[in-house]
Amino acid sequence: LLSIADLSPSEFTKLVLNASSHKKAVKDAFAAGQVPPKPLHGAMTGKTVAMMFSKRSTRTRVSTEAAVQLMGGHPMFLGKDDIQLGVNESLYDTSVVISSMTSCMVARVGPHSDVANLAAHSSVPVINALSSDFHPLQTIADFQTIHETFGRTPTDSSLGLEGLKVAWVGDSNNVLFDLAIGCVKMGVDIAVASPTGYGIPAEMKKIILAAAEGVAKPGKLTETTVPEEAIKDANILVTDTWVSMGQEVEAQKRLKAFAGYQITNELAKKGGAKPDWKFMHCLPRHPEEVDDEVFYGDRSLVFPEAENRLWAAVSALEAFVVNKGKIF
Ligand code: CP
Ligand code: NVA
């Protein structure tokens, strides 16, 4: 699982719905003092998941470790100072060796080509835990959150969210790209407002638009430099940091370029968001991209969204490791 682009609409729908139903079943079982219900309990007994992280992480690390543990497996965290991930050893050698000893690799890397390289040479499933281009586990959790909030009736190949509109205001980055692919596949319109020079690169736009293939009513992607234009009639306002990991040297330049893009209640009102609009953010959050009033306010879904990272990890590991890529 390198990107949501790898999934058909029905596979993506099932991953999201499974995440949501496992959440309910496990929480009910835990509340009753029981172990996780079948099919999760013991599903990963004897299996080790290598978690290779070349960048820091709170949610992805904790959710993956907790998900593996919940299914009885062993999560093995390997930070950038622990193993030779592309440093002092080729990715080919690393991938062949680690996949010969484990049941899955979950990798957080810099360039997307690194995780693609690991996957190309691995004998076990590889899950992208964030690369320069994509963040599929985040997108599964985000759609789970939208599904649980908007309460529409899903079908076999869609979550029933057609007609909703997402407004992304801020940097065009890895989190946006998979979110946009998910939107196109699920019939959710997505409008992106980024400053000039920080829009979606042409190659990535092609990948996002290609997600419409075979989808009866794909979501529309639109781009602007004006936040209010993107926000018009949006049901969900989303943003992420203006300075992603690895871009720290550009921080001052970026903070200047993104002035005026902070999500606030005033901006949402000025832009004409839907009266019951919601706010989402993958976290970690910085106050420059969204103020406290929105981030901690009634419209904010950020903490359920973060919790859903656990259920997205359970769903993805079940599909790719336990069920060997069969998503049902
Ligand atoms: N949203 C997310 O991936 O957070 P972490 O970087 O803390 O894992
Ligand atoms: N865009 C951010 C996401 C972190 C989860 C980054 O790449 O740092």
CATH of the domain at 277: 3.40.50.1370
- The per-residue pLDDT for 180 is 99
In a domain, 327, yes or no: no
Nearest ligand (C-alpha, residue 309): 1
Compute the average pLDDT of residues 209-225.
97
Residue 257 shares a structural domain with residue 188: yes
Domain that residue 281 falls in: 138-305
User: What dihedral angle (degrees, nearest 10) is formed by the CA atoms of 296, 300, 304, 306?
Assistant: -70
Name the least confident of 37-41, 83-87, 125-129: 83-87
Residue 280 shares a structural domain with residue 149: yes
Domain count within the chain: 2
Residue 163 shares a structural domain with residue 199: yes
The closest of 2, 133, 145, 129 to 61, measured between CA atoms, is: 129
Torsion sign, CA atoms 117, 120, 125, 130: positive
Cα 99 from Cα 91, distance rounded (Å): 12
- The per-residue pLDDT for 209 is 98
- Report ipTM (2 d.p.): 0.99
Distance 141 CA to ligand 1 centre (A): 12
Query: Whose alpha carbon is nearest atom 7 of ligand 1?
Result: 58
Residue 194 shares a structural domain with residue 289: yes
Residue 298 shares a structural domain with residue 152: yes
Q: Is 241 in the pocket of ligand 2 (CB under 6 A)?
A: yes
Nearest ligand (C-alpha, residue 174): 2
For the entire predicted model, the pTM comes to 0.98
Q: Considering the chain, what percentage of its residues have pLDDT values greater than 90?
A: 97
Helices (H) and strands (E) in the chain, counts: 12, 9
Q: Is the pLDDT of residue 86 over 90?
A: no
Cα 308 from Cα 305, distance rounded (Å): 5
- The per-residue pLDDT for 135 is 99
